[in-house]
Structure 1
Amino acid sequence: MAHNFDVVIIGGGILGTSISYFLSHLNKSKKIVVIEQEHNVAFHTSGRNTGKVHAPYLYNPEKKKLFAKAAFHGFEMWEEYSKLRNLPFKKDGVIEVALDKKGNSVLEKYLKWGKQNGLEDKDIKLMNSAELKKIEPEIKCESALYVYKDGSTDYSIFTDSVMKDSEASGTKFILDTKVTKIKKENGKWKITLDGEYEIFAKFLINAAGGEAINIAHDAGLAEKLTDVHFRGEYWRAPKEYNNLTKTSVYSVPEFPDYPFLDPHWIIRVDGSCEIGPNAVPVFSPYGYNKTENIKEFIPKMLEMLGSGARKAIFDKQFQELAMNEIQSSMSKSAMIDRVKRFLPKIDADRITEKGTAGIRSSVIDENGKFVPDVILIDDDTSFHILNYNSPGATGALPFASHIISHLNKNGLFQSEDLDAQCGPWKFSEIIEKLER
């Protein structure tokens, strides 16, 4: 059974689905297909997160300019889209707290970055502990950055809605189907699905998230890069804690060069509260359980030992941090005690229910360093998006637009109408905002 397409997108996460949305509006005569191995879109990282619509205060405007711009405009676009489709969206803000004097200077840096990235005085404010106490009496800290332009949503619901809009514009979604092989043949991509049947495409976009490195390797690209996977776990707070704070609370990360996060106090869009995530090293992008991790342990360890990841896993600081995260997975109190540092009223004994776990895949280069930014790789008939992590969901719509504009400028895939109306947005106007 063979089918021919102009574009195949591998990965039905929030980014792959958003790319299909804009491509379908800009290319009415072209055949576009999205392949997703799960039974619905946003099944993994895109739907297993805190649901935060992040303001761009955490991102260096020089080193992460594009991500910061995407987050800034993504907030506006998701808010507009939520109104259009009557989807959950709450502008509820976030508080970043410093727990020591060293953290104070980090918050000052975040304030500066936020304003450089487009936030106004009304969107972000640095407070001392006494000022914050008047607003949030339960929070204990040295100082705090109150970011008013931050929101909450449910990215699973958003992605499902974007998929339906993309389908209405002509995109075909093949769900519950795994890509088992890709091969260049006679100038086209031959993609084998579930080892049984094949589709052919002129152009391939790799937006496969936790599988993106593997797809790139199969295409003969990014061979010096590898990935490591971290499972982020959550604990659900009982209803009696739902009004403990008015908004979510993050603490300044102690080790920003590593993908280890101090657990946050999360208020979700439905009003429920959670503590998380940690970052437990696992051996698969689907390593939610022991069975999957045992199955992938040997092949993943061999891969890492034969790559730059070897330097990272033998680094003493990395090992120490990894062990701390494993301990936080094995001991509920170890994880909750981190949040008690700024919310001392929390009682670990009252928290008994686990939340949904999600997995983040981080790329390591040949020198054993974690790559801090997204990696975009051009090939003559393919495009690969690697290391697309937070604030990836926030910026998915504008970032997808950027990718399509990039493909056009580089002559890789020419869209038919860059002035087209894409739902509530004119595509050319999105790009104009991103390029300012």
Structure 2
Amino acid sequence: MAHDFDVVIIGGGILGTSISYFLSFLNKSKKIAVIEQAQNVAFHTSGRNTGKVHAPYLYNPEKKKLFANAAFHGFEMWERYSRLHDLPFKKDGVIEVALDKKGIKVLEKYLKWGKQNGLEEKDIELMDKSQLAKIEPEIKCEAAIYVHKDGSADYSAYTKSLMKDSEKNGMTFLLDTRVTDVKKENSKWKITLDEEHEIFAKFLINAAGGEAVDIAHGVGVAKELTDVHFRGEYWKAPSEYNTLTKTSIYSVPEFPDYPFLDPHWVIRVDGSCEIGPNAVPVFSPYGYNKAENIKEFIPKMLEMLGSGARKAIFDKQFQELAINEIQSSMSKSAMVERVRRFLPKIEADKITEKGTAGIRSSVIDENGKFSPDVILIDEESSFHILNYNSPGATGALPFSAHIVNHLHTSGLVSSEDMDAQCGPWKFTEIIEKLERK
């Protein structure tokens, strides 16, 4: 293994791998490595989500501007990339339902946001319940938004394909390798791997997902921020339900300022259906099981009590929502019942198999508020990407291009050919589209 690199990316999720993809085309003479602690890329959150290519109607164009812009362009980029590599992609739409008058007001807001974020009249429409019943007779609601420009994908397969493309251009991937220490030494980053090996880098990109805040803290960055982790669980529906609806169904979230979601009816790219995800508070970005959460409980609670997160966890509304999510984890019926409110034909007794759980991490600021948008932090020789959440997979390609362009224009990482052909796109053309919208 080479010991000296120009750039090291910590994190082989869909974001870190997408960054490596563009850097590999723009910097063919530079030595660049991606470090991923799991045995493969996209092993955690990037490969354990709903698999949706989200249209940007759920995202406030002011508070989540970067996410919304990336999601808008991400749909077309993933569609094109999937065709090039013969990967699964299905434009199947999504329906967001309102179950009461308050929810209808939210749908009207989402319609406005979607159009502000670039969706056209043909991409999104508001329907009353009689209009919807003609298309989806099994759905019970007061009104709905039908979003036609929404799709299903396999982000794990996409990320593995991006890794192969990057490796062809000379990128190094260190899989099954954990970063155990990062420190500055003689103007370079000394990165300790698995507590024994050392590599050195001129520049560090922190795209570590659930561990991004911890890595930032370790090098003295973003000390005022902390993160909290939520496990999203799924239940698989039997095949007899695969034709119950034509599209995935979401319901309007009652408390959008918190990272809790009412479980969705999810149709995956292979046609199978699931209920989920909920958002169960856990104490580790790898808190899939009881043992891991017990191990991390005390250190995580001490961290949260000593930060702005203290205000959040003692907020009564947050506590009530957290308890509801825990109940949905302990009781299959509680989780299924949330979906039965708009799909009453579903019977909990017929749902017996759990899906693959994933964990997402949200950042809380010093005032105890959940940060609504991604947080990007420039340092002299490092760049940190914090709070990269949904629709993170949807927007990973354009967002990564944005980051690479930012690093270049800021003089942090110089690129050799900004007009390079990056697979099906010229890099400069991607940036021009991002800047137009």
- TM-score, normalised via structure 1 length: 0.99
Change beyond 3 A, Cα 1:190–1:2? farther
**Counterpart mapping for 1:416-427 below 5 A:** 416-427=416-427
CA distance in structure 2 between the aligned counterparts of 1:64 and 1:231, rounded to whole angstroms: 22
Q: CA deviation at 1:64?
A: 1.8
Hey, what does 2:312 align to over in structure 1? Answer: 312
AA matched with 2:277: P
CA distance in structure 2 between the aligned counterparts of 1:65 and 1:297, rounded to whole angstroms: 34
Hey, what does 1:43 align to over in structure 2? Answer: 43
AA matched with 1:401: A
CA distance in structure 1 between the aligned counterparts of 2:270 and 2:192, rounded to whole angstroms: 40
**Counterpart mapping for 1:254-273 below 5 A:** 254-273=254-273
Hey, what does 1:108 align to over in structure 2? Answer: 108
Q: CA deviation at 1:2?
A: 6.1
CA distance in structure 1 between the aligned counterparts of 2:180 and 2:271, rounded to whole angstroms: 41
CA distance in structure 1 between the aligned counterparts of 2:405 and 2:302, rounded to whole angstroms: 38
CA distance in structure 2 between the aligned counterparts of 1:56 and 1:364, rounded to whole angstroms: 23
Hey, what does 2:118 align to over in structure 1? Answer: 118
Hey, what does 2:377 align to over in structure 1? Answer: 377
AA matched with 1:373: D
CA distance in structure 2 between the aligned counterparts of 1:264 and 1:406, rounded to whole angstroms: 36
Q: CA deviation at 1:234?
A: 0.2
Matched position secondary structure for 2:255: coil
Matched position secondary structure for 2:3: strand
Matched position secondary structure for 1:435: helix
Hey, what does 2:21 align to over in structure 1? Answer: 21
Deviations 1:154-197 (A, max 9, x none): 10000000000010011000000000000011110000000111
**Counterpart mapping for 1:371-410 below 5 A:** 371-410=371-410
Q: CA deviation at 1:77?
A: 0.4
Answering whether residue 108 of structure 2 is matched by residue 98 of structure 1, we say no
CA distance in structure 1 between the aligned counterparts of 2:378 and 2:338, rounded to whole angstroms: 42
Q: Is the 8 A contact 1:2 1:200 kept in 2?
A: no
- TM-score, normalised via structure 2 length: 0.99
Q: Is the 8 A contact 1:224 1:307 kept in 2?
A: yes
Hey, what does 1:205 align to over in structure 2? Answer: 205
Q: Is the 8 A contact 1:2 1:198 kept in 2?
A: no
AA matched with 1:392: G
Which runs of 5 or more residues in structure 2 are unaligned?
none
CA distance in structure 2 between the aligned counterparts of 1:371 and 1:213, rounded to whole angstroms: 13
Hey, what does 2:285 align to over in structure 1? Answer: 285
AA matched with 1:261: L
Hey, what does 2:340 align to over in structure 1? Answer: 340
Answering whether residue 429 of structure 2 is matched by residue 435 of structure 1, we say no
Q: CA deviation at 1:409?
A: 1.6
AA matched with 2:228: V
Deviations 1:292-335 (A, max 9, x none): 00000111011111111111111111000000000000001111
AA matched with 2:293: N
Matched position secondary structure for 1:6: strand
Deviations 1:131-153 (A, max 9, x none): 00000000000100000000001
Deviations 1:367-397 (A, max 9, x none): 1111111000000000000000000000000
CA distance in structure 1 between the aligned counterparts of 2:2 and 2:78, rounded to whole angstroms: 37
CA root-mean-square deviation: 0.7
CA distance in structure 2 between the aligned counterparts of 1:356 and 1:308, rounded to whole angstroms: 31
Matched position secondary structure for 1:74: helix
CA distance in structure 1 between the aligned counterparts of 2:11 and 2:269, rounded to whole angstroms: 26
CA distance in structure 2 between the aligned counterparts of 1:434 and 1:423, rounded to whole angstroms: 18
Q: CA deviation at 1:60?
A: 1.4
Which runs of 5 or more residues in structure 1 are unaligned?
none
Matched position secondary structure for 1:122: coil
Hey, what does 1:196 align to over in structure 2? Answer: 196
- The structure 1 segments of at least 4 consecutive aligned residues displaced by more than 4 Å after TM superposition are none
**Counterpart mapping for 1:38-187 below 5 A:** 38-187=38-187
CA distance in structure 2 between the aligned counterparts of 1:113 and 1:320, rounded to whole angstroms: 29
AA matched with 1:384: H
Hey, what does 1:245 align to over in structure 2? Answer: 245
Matched position secondary structure for 1:243: coil
Matched position secondary structure for 2:80: helix
Q: Is the 8 A contact 1:2 1:197 kept in 2?
A: no
CA distance in structure 2 between the aligned counterparts of 1:228 and 1:124, rounded to whole angstroms: 33
Q: Is the 8 A contact 2:66 2:373 kept in 1?
A: no
Deviations 1:324-372 (A, max 9, x none): 0000000011111000000011100110100000001000111111111
CA distance in structure 1 between the aligned counterparts of 2:152 and 2:69, rounded to whole angstroms: 19
- The alignment covers a number of residue pairs equal to 436
Q: Is the 8 A contact 1:124 1:149 kept in 2?
A: yes
Q: CA deviation at 1:62?
A: 2.0
Answering whether residue 337 of structure 2 is matched by residue 331 of structure 1, we say no
Matched position secondary structure for 1:67: helix
Q: Is the 8 A contact 1:307 1:366 kept in 2?
A: yes
AA matched with 1:310: R
